Amino acid sequence: MTSRLLRRILLIAACGLAGIAPAQAQQQFINVLTGGTSGVYYPLGVALSQIYGKALPNAKTSVQATKASAENLNLLQAGRGEVAFTLGDSLSDAWKGDEEAGFKAPLKKLRGIAGVYPNYIQIVASADSGIKSLADLKGKRISVGAPKSGTELNARAIFKAAGLTYKDFAKVEYLPFGESVELMKNRQLDATLQSAGLGVSSLRDLSTSVKIVVVPVPADVVAKVGDPAYQSGVIPANTYEGQAANVPTAYVQNFLVTHSGVADDTVYKMTKAMFDNLDAMTAAHVAAKSIRKEAATQGMPVPLHPGAEKYFKEIGVLK
Nearest-5° Cα angle at 42, 41 to 44: 70
User: With 70 as the cut, is the pLDDT of residue 295 above it?
Assistant: yes
**pTM: predicted TM-score of the whole model, two decimal places:** 0.81
When pLDDT is cut at 50, 70 and 90, the band that residue 27 belongs to is low
Q: Looking at the 3D structure of the chain, how many domains does it have? A: 2
Of 209, 225, 252, the last residue of a domain is 252
What are φ and ψ of residue 41, in 5° steps?
-55, -40
Over residues 247-252, mean pLDDT: 97
When pLDDT is cut at 50, 70 and 90, the band that residue 16 belongs to is low
pLDDT, tens digit (0-9, with 9 covering 90-100), for 178-235: 999 999 999 999 999 999 999 999 999 999 999 999 999 999 999 999 988 899 999 9
Q: Do 144 and 240 sit in the same domain of this protein?
A: yes
Tell me which of 19 and 247 has the higher pLDDT.
Answer: 247
Q: Do 84 and 134 sit in the same domain of this protein?
A: no
CATH of the domain at 33: 3.40.190.10
Q: Do 75 and 103 sit in the same domain of this protein?
A: yes
Separation of alpha carbons 289 and 18, rounded Å: 43
Of 200, 224, 252, the last residue of a domain is 252
Range of the domain at 210: 119-252
Of 252, 269, 287, the last residue of a domain is 252
Residues ≥6 apart with Cβ < 8 Å to 147: 67, 174
Residues ≥6 apart with Cβ < 8 Å to 287: 40, 44, 117, 196, 197, 198, 199, 200
